[in-house]
Amino acid sequence: MKGSSVVLDRIGDRLAAAMVIDGVLHDLLIEPSEARPVPGAIYRAVVDRPMKGQGGAIVRMPDGRGYLRGAKGLAPGTVMLVQVTGYAEDGKAVPVTDRVLFKSRYAIVTPGAPGINISRTIREEDRREQLLLLAHETVDDGTGLILRSACATGSDEAIAEDVRAMCDLASAIMAEVSGPPELLVEGPDPHTLAWREWPEPDSISTQDGGFAAQGIDAMIAALARPGVAIGEGRMFIEPTRALVAVDVNTGADTSLSAGLKANIAMARALPAQLRCRGLGGQIVLDLAPMAKKERRGFEQVLRAAFRADSIDTVLAGWTPLGLFELQRRRDRLPLEALP
């Protein structure tokens, strides 16, 4: 099936959202099965103790501990606002930042970072000028604002309303600087996140049972298996406690270019597979055999694939054994942790 579609449904009693492009599962969001800090949530927290050797601090939150990276000069007992940046690994504190952002579909309000910026993906000069004028008419001087790529096609009325709502929310929350640890803004649920982050699809389904009716249940079941057909062979994605291992096989193709073709097919398919499986951290690629002179072309394809990905991924490079390493932000729970 050609085109893009978004399906909003439930898995059991949890909200879920799926994006399918040309019949392939492109993204999947599932609500955690238990209450836990969600990326984007904003808390009032209290500094517990500085971690001098690590350049950070442990902060107390109402439902556990957070780790604030890069904290300097914070005394124990200091009250501050923090925002969750990812899910915590088992037994570790929740990663948080003190650079709080208020994000919606069209706008990001950035307290403490004044100035108006427009997404670089909006290239049409006339539209950029229109958006800049709209922003100056809508927000006060000194407000930090980023107009997102969705503004390229959004109506001025919807954008202005969104900006005002985010500015009002930011003003209210940034004033909450005294009191005990408390959750101030909940993190977005899958339906809200799909509306906020995904581009406008060709079709949207909100009916109950949409996952079953459109074959998404079967696509999710396939994610539980390590093997993935990639056209030019197969890749196997196997998470361990320490890292995620990705193995690439050429299948029945025995030509001289089989390894490069399989590796390029894997590179193009990997970001969506990692998103849908909720995998992050250290990722190691055990590639199909290819000549060293072909590595540069492979890297170009891999970088292009992750450049279009919404999750920050660092391409660390080659190891002496010919493996390729990546480091990916953990902003989702692994699918296996969502029974």
- Cβ–Cβ < 8 Å for 152, 127: yes
3-class secondary structure, 190: helix
Is 7 a residue whose pLDDT tops 80?
yes
- Cβ–Cβ < 8 Å for 11, 211: yes
Distances (CA, A) of 146 to 108, 155, 219, 227: 5, 16, 35, 40
Strand partners of residue 11: 14
pLDDT digit string, tens, across residues 229-281: 998 789 999 999 899 999 999 978 778 789 999 999 999 999 999 999 999 99
Closest by alpha carbon to 102, among 69, 46, 71, 143? 143
Is 158 a residue whose pLDDT tops 90?
yes
pLDDT digit string, tens, across residues 162-179: 999 999 999 999 999 899
Per the listing, tokens 């927290």 go with 45
What pLDDT shows up at residue 56?
87
What pLDDT shows up at residue 136?
93
Mention every residue, 6+ apart, whose C-beta is less than 8 A from residue 102. 108, 109, 111, 166, 169, 170, 173
pTM for this entry: 0.88
The stretch 310-323 carries a mean pLDDT of: 94
Q: In this structure, is the dihedral angle defined by the CA atoms of residues 126, 128, 131 and 136, taken in order, positive or negative?
A: negative
Is 95 a residue whose pLDDT tops 90?
yes
One-letter identity of residue 207: Q
What pLDDT shows up at residue 339?
61
3-state helix, strand, coil in the chain (%, to 5): 30, 30, 40
3-class secondary structure, 241: coil
What pLDDT shows up at residue 92?
85
pLDDT digit string, tens, across residues 25-84: 999 999 987 778 899 999 999 999 888 767 789 999 998 899 998 777 788 999 999 999
